[in-house]
Amino acid sequence: MIDLRSDTVTKPTKEMREAAFFTEVGDDVYGEDPAVNKLEEEAAAILGKEAALFVTSGTQGNQIAVLTHCRPGQELLLEAESHIFYYESGAVSALAGVQTRTIHGSKGAMDPQLVRSAIRENDIHFPDTGLICLENTHNRAGGAVIPIENMRQIYDIGIENHIPVHVDGARLFNAAAALGVPVTDFTQYCDTVQVCLSKGLGAPVGSILAGDKEFILKARKWRKRLGGGLRQAGMIAAPAYVALTTMRERLVEDHNLAKSLSDGLMDINGLRVVNQVETNIVVVDVAHLQMTSQAFVSELEKEGVLAVSFGPTFVRFTTHHQVSKQDIGRTIDIIARISAVPL
Ligand code: TLP
């Protein structure tokens, strides 16, 4: 099977497995797991923040961020197709008791002026705006990189209005790799950031939430409340450290493969590549094949390629560590064959 459903399917490398096997461990709820402590210190340094917290998933990291920044009854400003809004099972309302106010972005980027005008005035009728969330890269915008300048402008608006900015940076290292810049070029323009270690970086489990010391102290308590205080977590933190420190540079390989896939698919009649590929995601519209995305995905599966439906006629392909150049060639051939056959 060529698994292009997501970069979440990546398997840990031998070095990661060995790191898990040989690591020293302790009880992380007592702050005594050396591998977790080392990972959190290194992550904070890489992200240019005072402190960091190892969490079980991207969703948990984002939710802890919202819970820590906001109070119930506040309003969260975020992009209309962002993961926090679209894919986290309504958690911000279920857990943090905040309501969402969405802004439609262009390639995932919100217009700073729209953000400014969506911030609530001080009025007894209005909820207070508690947090602005950005997503970089933007998943549903096809892995688009949110420009640093866009982040700067929104962060400045946040500062002017005393509203913190959180970045869902599940794939922020992809954004940094795509622009060839240090990740701190992005993180300088947010108060807190969540980065996933278990996507393109290949760790088996885990994300990092980073921010200032006071924020992380409160976030640690929220993680405990949510049942995310783990004990001998070094078993997963040690491979996550390998992912964080050795796998960032290789992300450009995924981007190159995604570009090759997109180039190959563009030439196939009846298919339209929806996004301009900047990182590791390719989104294709199959509407002209008179097929639903679900039907297309099942046809692909029969031929040994896995992808995900991304809307009624959109299909998403994601490249990652376990995908080779040959896999991409085969995928293009298979898709050309399926697209040529009237079903
Ligand atoms: N995204 C997954 C699915 O949930 C859609 C995927 O396959 O892309 N933020 C962003 C931008 C994400 O894309 C994801 C995962 C998360 C957060 C959540 O991370 P996890 O899966 O670790 O909770």
List, for residues 108-122, the tens digit of each pLDDT value: 999 999 999 999 999
The architecture in CATH of the region 10-246 reads 3-Layer(aba) Sandwich (3.40)
Alpha-carbon separation of residue 65 from 22, 108, 136, 285 (angstroms): 32, 20, 16, 34
Ligand 1 centre distance from Cα of residue 59 (Å): 7
Q: Indicate if ligand 1 lies below 6 Å from the C-beta of 135.
A: yes
pLDDT number for residue 156: 98
pLDDT number for residue 179: 98
Q: What is the DSSP letter of 203?
A: -
Instruction: Give CATH 3.90.1150.10 domain extents, the chain.
Output: 250-340
Residue 325 has a CB neighbour count (10 Å cut-off) of: 11
Q: Indicate if ligand 1 lies below 6 Å from the C-beta of 83.
A: yes
pLDDT number for residue 341: 65
Residues in Cβ contact with 298 at an 8 Å cutoff, skipping those fewer than 6 apart: none
Ligand 1 centre distance from Cα of residue 54 (Å): 16
Helices (H), the chain: 14-22, 34-47, 58-69, 83-86, 91-94, 112-118, 148-160, 172-179, 184-187, 213-225, 234-246, 251-266, 293-302, 325-340
Instruction: Give CATH 3.40.640.10 domain extents, the chain.
Output: 10-246
Ligand 1 centre distance from Cα of residue 171 (Å): 9
pLDDT number for residue 340: 86
Mutate to test the pocket of ligand 1, among 3, 66, 79, 83 (most ligand atoms within 8 A of CB): 83
Atom of ligand 1 minimally distant from the CA of 59: 23
Low-confidence ranges of the chain (pLDDT < 70): 341-343
pTM over cut 0.85:
yes
pLDDT number for residue 276: 97
Instruction: List the one residue out of 50, 59, 51, 36 whose CA is nearest residue 244.
Output: 36
Q: Which residue's CA lies nearest to atom 5 of ligand 1?
A: 87
Between β-strands 272-273 and 281-285, what pairing exists: parallel, antiparallel or unpaired? antiparallel
Radius of gyration of the chain from its Cα atoms, rounded to whole angstroms:
20
Atom of ligand 1 minimally distant from the CA of 135: 11
pLDDT number for residue 261: 98
What fold does the segment set 250-340 form as a domain? Aspartate Aminotransferase, domain 1 (3.90.1150)
